[in-house]
Each structure stands twice: as C-alpha cells, then as structure tokens.
Structure 1
C-alpha cells in the first residue's frame, strides 16, 4: 500500500539533507570541468617552465671573450642579425673604401661630449658592404672637412684592414631639423638609403673602428670611445617574472573551477529552500 505521506517525507528529507559542496564537485559535469582546468593549468605550467629555462643563461660568454679579435665572418654574416652575446665583439675586416660614401651622423657622444661621427662604406672582398664609424669630431665643420679628406684619399682598389667593435644597428630616426638627410642614429639601413651603388649584401650591424695606424688622427678626427661591453647578469629577471605570472594563471584556473562549482552549489541550496536565486 502506497504511503500518502511519502512525497512529503522525501521532500522533507531533501530539505534536511541538502547536497554538500563535495557532492556537487564530484558530479560528472564538474569532474569534466576540472579535467579541462587541468589541461589549461598544464599548458600554463609548461609556459612557466619554458620561461624559467630561458631565464638563466647556462653558457654565458667567458670574461674577456669580446676582446679577442675574430674575423668578422666568424661573428656575423651579411644581412644577419647580431646575436646579443656578440655585441661589442672585436673583429678584423679587410676591404676597400668607397670615396663617395663618407657621411656624417650627428648627436654622437665621445666621453660625454656631443659631436659628430664620420662614417664610411667598406666594401669587402666578397662584395658585401659594412658601415664603419670612422672617427669623432666636435663640430659639423670639422666632420665635413674630415669626410672630404678621407674621400680624397680613399682608393677603391686599395685594400685596408680594420679592427674595431661590431655593434647592432640603432635603427633609423626622423630628422630633427629641416635637413631631410640628417642622421642622428647610427643605422646601416639609413646609410644605405644615401649610399651610391651597392653591389652586394649589407651587414646589419656596424663597426666602430680603432685607429692603430693613426689615419683617423691624420684626418683631424678623434678615435671613437668604444669600451668593452659590461658583462651582464646570467639571470633574466623579466623571464622569471613571466614564469611567476604563468604559475599564478595556473592557480587561477583551479580557483575558477572551485568558484563556479561553489556558485552552483549555493544556487541549488537556495532553490531547495524555496528562494529564487535570481531575485536574492
């Protein structure tokens, strides 16, 4: 015989024993959501591990490595970017000056004194071209005179050997004055736009030349102050910060799952208590 009070008793039991948060979390829907969060957190953890592996240089250059003079083709190839550990590396290069491509770059500092660089295009034996910062002058007039003298003495058929530091392109900049050809940054890309005919590839970095023979001084220029680069820390703190961020994101994925499951549980309790959760 059916108990007429059975539905009411079941309803009373449901009110007396509402689901626990743990029971809600163990339902298939929330187990599937947890699995998705595990995948997302795993991706974030992998990204954090990748950032950490990039944060510490396990093979830093030896102290003084940049002071060993190397052939330029062992350091960088024409058209290639200069790798960070090789910025400031001393190199040796052989080529010939182009008399028509001595140009001036302004806003150059030599031991905190502002002046001008005289630059030239050295054409190497393989027909590639290298921008060379030849020397420094305190005034534009002195730089122009030196450039004219260097151009008059340059022999495109005479090979010269230079040593200096190879430096990354500074990138072009908009001229500050009325002269559209003014250059305030040492950029082989900008120099290329004012050079004449260039038969081969162009090096992306440039060379700050030393003056072992005194040729720069003979032209009325000072040698460019180009000290050895400082040895940086083998730890990249920015990458470590990014790794911490990825760990936080991974933790947030689990918190989001917990918060959504808890909201669903609280909503169910309100519905069992006869409260409309949308009006609460």
Structure 2
C-alpha cells in the first residue's frame, strides 16, 4: 500500500529563537548607546558648533542684560550747591541733564510791564498760579559780553497764589512798580527746562498760559529781550504777596529697562535651543542604529492610512470568508 508523503516532512525548518528575537531587520547584536554616538567625531564637531552658537547667543543676552542694568544705575550728582547760571548753561543753548534741576545764582533786574500769570500750577498738592517775571541779566557768571551787546534774559517764577485772580492782581502791582524789587538783585533758585506750550481749551481765554514756555514769553515781552535762556528759574525766596513755590530736587529714582531684560531672556532660550538641537541629532542617529529599526515603518503606517491591506498574505477577509490573493489556497489551485 502506497502512502502519500507527509507534507510536514517537506516544510521548511522553523526559525530558531535567536532569529525570532532579532526580528526581520535585526542582526541580534546590541546597538550603540547614546553616549557612544555622542562621542563620535561627527557628533563632537556638531557639539562644538552648537556651543559656539550658544556662546554667541549668551553674549548677546549678557549685552542686553548689561544695558538694562546700566539704565537702572543711579548716578548721584550734587544739584543743591548753587552755581552761576552761566557755568551750567548758555543763552539760546540746550538745557543739559547736568544743568536741569540744578540750583543757580544770577544777577539782574526785573523788567516792569513783563510780569505774566501761568495758571494750573501745583504747589504742595494744591492748584494755583505762578507769577513770572522777566529778568534782564547783568551777571550770570560767564564771560563778560561785548559792550554793545544786549543783556541776556531768563524767566523767573517769583511765587505762587491759590487763584488766577490773586496772581493777576500781584502781577498788575508789579507792572506798575508798586512793591516790585528795583535795581540789580541776585536771584537764587532752581533752573528748569522750558515747557512745551499748550493751546487753551475750548471757551478759555486765548491769552491764558498753562505752560511756562520761554518761546511764548519772548512773544509777550514788548521789548527786545536779547538772547534768552531755554529754561526758567524757580526763585527760592518769593516776593511779597506770594507763596514760595515748592521745587524739590530732581528725582534720582530710575527703573530697569524691562524690554532689554526680555531680549536677554530670548537670547538665553536660543542658546539652550542650540544644545537641544544637537541632542536631538544624536538621539535620531542612535535610534536609526538600533536593532530592528526599519526606515519604512513610517511608510507602512502611511500605507495603512491610504487603504492598503495590512493583513499578511494568506489571511482571509472576515466579511466574506474567501481566501485572500496570494494565499496557500490560491497556490493549490
């Protein structure tokens, strides 16, 4: 009796355990560690480049931080020792940071008819008005002017009142020569930069002044004022009928430049990001060299999404139950 050959005897030998473990693309040997990949010459060269870039970003961040700190440094200066006005500023010249807010001395005479009222002036928290005079300078501490030159001028805030009417009454008396200081006198006070003029509000007197602008005063003074300082003096001692104007020393309080600090933080983030990019490069290299890694794994996943059949050859369609193309049933046919 003839026996059919056992088909199991012709079957291919089953893969051993080592082959099963290693996977379809693996060799069975352990891959390199992350540290080994990081110590390769190429990785070290990339690390050096990343460190150079990070150092550049860190230097830019330090520069921005230094700018922020520098703007917050308080530079103390003596503003309370009165100096001749001509040693700190010049007529028609700019008011510098050194001269602004400094106590000054100057000699001259107040010009009758040139007294004006400046409204909306705060004094110890109260709103009132200033009486401002025109000082024709005879000695400001600078070099002697030419004999035929007109004397320079500077506005002087002589005092404060609670209302505009009171200030106007005092200014009228001074214009008439009643109670106004006569002759050459010495004025001691704080020198401040000229203020920007402001047009009067709707319904207000167009001649009403709320800012002490030297340019506006020159247009109001009837005579030739000569060269005028681009600032005014707040007199320390008021004239009769007026209250002393509160004129504190300039504030030395400063704030840090937070915009520079923000930029410094940005550069720090960029420096860290350069190192992170290097680490990700090393990590990707290590991943690709691991046993069993296949570059087409992502492509297989994309194929599944496109509708490709993920089942191996020989599988059956559960919905129909028919053998799939390429199965052993097709081969037997």
Question: Which TM-score tier does this pair reach, normalised by the shorter chain?
Answer: 0.5 to 0.7
List per-residue Cα deviations over 1:17-45 (Å, max 9, x = no partner). 59778469936566445423422321331
Greater fraction of residues in helix: 1
User: Secondary structure of the residue that 2:160 maps to in structure 1?
Assistant: strand
Partner of 1:49: 66
Q: Measure the CA separation in 2 of the matches of 1:260 and 1:53.
A: 33
Partner of 2:171: 147
Partner of 1:104: 117
- Evaluate the alpha carbon distance shift between residue 176 and residue 49 of structure 1 in structure 2; reply closer, same or farther with a 3 A threshold: same
Stretches of structure 2 that go unaligned for 5 or more consecutive residues are 1-24, 139-144, 146-150, 303-333
RMSD value over aligned CA atoms? 4.2
User: Secondary structure of the residue that 1:203 maps to in structure 2?
Assistant: coil
Q: Find the partner of 1:163 among 172, 188, 191.
A: 188
Q: Find the partner of 2:214 among 164, 177, 188.
A: 188
Count of residue correspondences: 253
Q: Find the partner of 1:35 among 52, 66, 77.
A: 52
How far did 1:246 drift? 5.4
Confirm or deny: 8 A CA contact 2:136 2:154 kept in the other structure: yes
Stretches of structure 1 that go unaligned for 5 or more consecutive residues are 1-10
Confirm or deny: 8 A CA contact 2:120 2:127 kept in the other structure: yes
Q: Measure the CA separation in 2 of the matches of 1:17 and 1:72.
A: 80
Alignment of 1:55-204 (within 5 A): 55-57=72-74, 60-61=76-77, 66=80, 68-78=81-91, 79-83=93-97, 87-125=100-138, 127-153=151-177, 158-178=183-203, 179-192=205-218, 194-196=220-222, 200-204=226-230
Q: TM-score, normalised by structure 2?
A: 0.59
- Evaluate the alpha carbon distance shift between residue 237 and residue 108 of structure 1 in structure 2; reply closer, same or farther with a 3 A threshold: closer
Confirm or deny: 8 A CA contact 2:54 2:272 kept in the other structure: no
Q: TM-score, normalised by structure 1?
A: 0.68
Confirm or deny: 8 A CA contact 2:153 2:229 kept in the other structure: yes
